[in-house]
Structure 1
Amino acid sequence: MNIVLMLLPAIAWGILPLAVARVNGKPINQIFGTAVGTLIVSIVVFMVMRPTISIASFVLAALAGGFWIIGQLGQYNAYRSIGVSQTMPISTGLQLIGTAFIGVLIFGEWASVNAKVFGIIGIVLLIIGVFLTAKKDKGEQKNTQTGTLIMLVLTTIGFLVYNSIPRAMTSSGLAIFLPESVGMVVAVLLYIIFTRQPQVLRDKTSWQSLMAGFIFSIAAITYILSVRDNGVNSAFVVSQLSVVLSTIGGMIFLHEKKSRHELTLTIIGLVLIVSGAIITTIF
C-alpha cells in the first residue's frame, strides 16, 4: 500500500496537464474548472475526516491556495504556447530550484557541509536540465518561447509561496486542503472580475475542466498520505516522476512534435531534473 501511495501522486500529477490540454478552452476556463473541482472534493474530504484548524491557519492556507492559482495559470498559458512536453520540465525544474533556495535562506536547511555540497550539485543539475529541455532548434518560434519562459519564471513565484506557507504553519495535511481550495476559488473569481470575463462562469469548457480539479485532488490527497506513511523525502522524490509522465504523454497523446535533437536534449534534461530533485531532497 505504501508503494501505491508513493506512485499515485506522480501518476495523477503527470496526467493532469494532459487532461487540461485536451479541454479546448482558454486557460481561464481550465483554471476555473480546476479550482472548483478541487473545492468540491475538499468539501467531501472535510465532511468525512472532520479535521480541526485554527482561523489563522485557515487564512494562511487560503492565501497559499490563491498563490497556487498564479503558478498554475502560468502553466496553463504555457501549455497553449509551447506545449505540455516543454512546459512541464521547465516549470518543475524552476519550482525545485526556487524551493531549494527558500529552504536554505528561510528554513535553515542544508546545515552541514555535505548537505551544502550536494545541494549545490543538485541545483546545478536542475539548472542544466531546465536549460536543455527549454532549448529549441534554431528558428523555431524564438519570440514566443522567450516570452513564455519569462512568464513561467515570474508565475513560478506563486508555486513557491504556495509550497512555503504550509511549512510555516502548525496545521498541515488534510486540515489545510479545504482552506487552500477556498483560496483557489476566491483567487479565480477575483481574476475573472478584474479581467471582466463573466462569461467564463457559463462556458461549457469551464465545467468540463472540473475533471482536472478531481485529478489534482487525487494527487494532493495521496501525496499527503504518502508523506505520512513514507516520509517527506521519499514521497517528494517519487512524486517528481510526474514530470516524466507528463512530458512523454505530451509527445505521445497530444502529438507534440520534437526534432531528434530536441528529443535527445529533453530526455537528458529530464534525467538531470529528476537526479537534481533526488540529490537536493535526500542528501
Structure 2
Amino acid sequence: MIDYFVALLPALFLGFMSIVLVAQGGDDRQKTLGTLGGAFLFSALATPFIDVHWTTKTLLISFLSGLILGFGQYLQILCLKVLGVSRTMPLTTAGQIIFMCLGGIILFGEMNHGLALVFALSSIALLTLGVVFISKTEKTQEAAAENVDWKRGTILLVISTACLVAYLLIVQGFGLDGRSVILPQSAGYFLVGLIATIPALSPQLGKEDNRWSLLTLRQLIPGMMWGAAILLTQISSSLLGVAVAFPLSQMGVIIQTFGGILILHETRTRREMRWTVIGVAIMVIGVIMVGVARSFS
C-alpha cells in the first residue's frame, strides 16, 4: 500500500508545479532556467540522504536521459505560453500515459496478456477520447479573441511529450535504480537549461540576458517541486513498474486543468468548459483502469 502512496505523491507536486510556475511570473527564459535549476538543486540536496550506487554506465545513461528530459521540459514551458496550462497539461499528460503504457507493454512485457491487456488497451482508448474532448474548441467570437496558436502549440506538445516519455523509458530499459540516476540526470537537464537560455541561441525569447534575476530565483520553487516529482516517479517505477507508477503520478492533471482555469483565469466558453470537464473525467477513469490492468498481470 505504501508503494501506491509514493506513486501518488508526484501527482500533488506536478499538479501545483505548473500553476506556481506561471503565477510566479517571468519570461520563458527565466522560467526554464529557474525550473531546471531548482530541480538540480533539489537533486543535489536529496542525494546525500538516499542510497545511491554509481557506475560509469549509470552516470552516462542518466546524464543522457537528463539531456532529453531537459529539452522536453524546455519545450513544455514554451507550450504553456502558447496553449495555456489548462490545455497543455491534460493533453501532454494523456500523451505521456498512452506512450508510457505502450512502452511498458511492448518493451518491458508489462500487462501484455489476458484481461490485463484488455484493460490496458481500454485505458489507452479512454485517454485518447479524453484528449479529443479537452482539445475541442468552439468557433465563436469569444474563442476567436483568445487566438490560440494550435499549430505551433501542437508541434511543441508532441516533441516535448515524446521527450518526457523517452527519458523514463531509457532509465527503465537499462535497469537503472531511480535513486542513483537523480543527480547525474539533473546535471544533464540543468546543462540544457543553461544552453537553451543563452540569448544568442534563443533569439525568439528576446535579446536581453535576464536570466540572473529575482524572477529566475523565484522559479526555483516550482523547479524543486518538479525535481521531487521526478525522484518519486522513478523510485515508484522501480517498485510498481513503469506502466502503473507513471499513470498514477499524472493524476495531478485534475489540479493543473482546473487550477489553470480558476486560478490563472484561462478563458473557456461555456461549451468548451463542459467538454474539458468531460475529457478530464474520462482521463481519470482511464488512469484507474491502468491500475486495474496491473492487478490482472
Give me the TM-score of the superposition, normalised by structure 2: 0.85
**Pairing of 1:187-202 with structure 2 (within 5 A):** 187-193=192-198, 194-195=201-202, 199-202=209-212
| Worse overlay, 73-82 or 223-232 | 223-232
Rate the CA distance shift 1:185–1:198 in 2: closer, same or farther, 3 A: farther
Q: Which runs of 5+ in 1 are unaligned?
A: none
Rate the CA distance shift 1:247–1:36 in 2: closer, same or farther, 3 A: same
1:85 paired residue number: 86
Question: Which secondary structure does the structure 1 equivalent of 2:54 belong to?
Answer: coil
Q: Is the 8 A contact 1:28 1:73 kept in 2?
A: no
2:217 paired residue number: 207
Rate the CA distance shift 1:118–1:234 in 2: closer, same or farther, 3 A: closer
- Tell me the distance in 2 between the aligned counterparts of 1:118 and 1:50: 35
Number of aligned positions between the proteins: 283
Rate the CA distance shift 1:119–1:5 in 2: closer, same or farther, 3 A: closer
**Pairing of 1:56-75 with structure 2 (within 5 A):** 56-75=57-76
Q: Is the 8 A contact 2:86 2:260 kept in 1?
A: yes
1:248 paired residue number: 258
- Tell me the distance in 2 between the aligned counterparts of 1:173 and 1:143: 38
- Tell me whether 1:269 sits opposite 2:282 in the alignment: no
2:184 paired residue number: 179
- How far 1:50 moved relative to its partner? 5.1
CA RMSD of aligned residues (A): 2.5
Letter aligned with residue 195 of structure 1:
S
**Pairing of 1:25-40 with structure 2 (within 5 A):** 25-40=26-41
| Worse overlay, 102-111 or 82-91 | 102-111
Rate the CA distance shift 1:104–1:198 in 2: closer, same or farther, 3 A: farther
- How far 1:202 moved relative to its partner? 2.0
Q: Is the 8 A contact 2:100 2:243 kept in 1?
A: no
Match of 2:157 among 148, 152, 156: 152
Give me the TM-score of the superposition, normalised by structure 1: 0.89
- Tell me whether 1:216 sits opposite 2:217 in the alignment: no
Letter aligned with residue 274 of structure 1:
V
Q: Which runs of 5+ in 2 are unaligned?
A: none
Letter aligned with residue 175 of structure 2:
T
1:165 paired residue number: 170
- How far 1:281 moved relative to its partner? 4.6
2:15 paired residue number: 14
| Worse overlay, 134-143 or 240-249 | 134-143
Rate the CA distance shift 1:29–1:253 in 2: closer, same or farther, 3 A: same
1:239 paired residue number: 249
| Worse overlay, 253-262 or 128-137 | 253-262
Letter aligned with residue 58 of structure 2:
S
- Tell me whether 1:125 sits opposite 2:135 in the alignment: no
Question: Which secondary structure does the structure 2 equivalent of 1:109 belong to?
Answer: coil
Question: Which secondary structure does the structure 2 equivalent of 1:212 belong to?
Answer: helix
Question: Which secondary structure does the structure 2 equivalent of 1:79 belong to?
Answer: helix
- How far 1:222 moved relative to its partner? 3.9
Question: Which secondary structure does the structure 1 equivalent of 2:110 belong to?
Answer: coil
Question: Which secondary structure does the structure 2 equivalent of 1:267 belong to?
Answer: helix
- How far 1:98 moved relative to its partner? 1.6
Q: Is the 8 A contact 1:90 1:133 kept in 2?
A: yes
- How far 1:132 moved relative to its partner? 0.7
Question: Which secondary structure does the structure 1 equivalent of 2:149 belong to?
Answer: helix
Question: Which secondary structure does the structure 1 equivalent of 2:197 belong to?
Answer: helix
Rate the CA distance shift 1:98–1:50 in 2: closer, same or farther, 3 A: closer
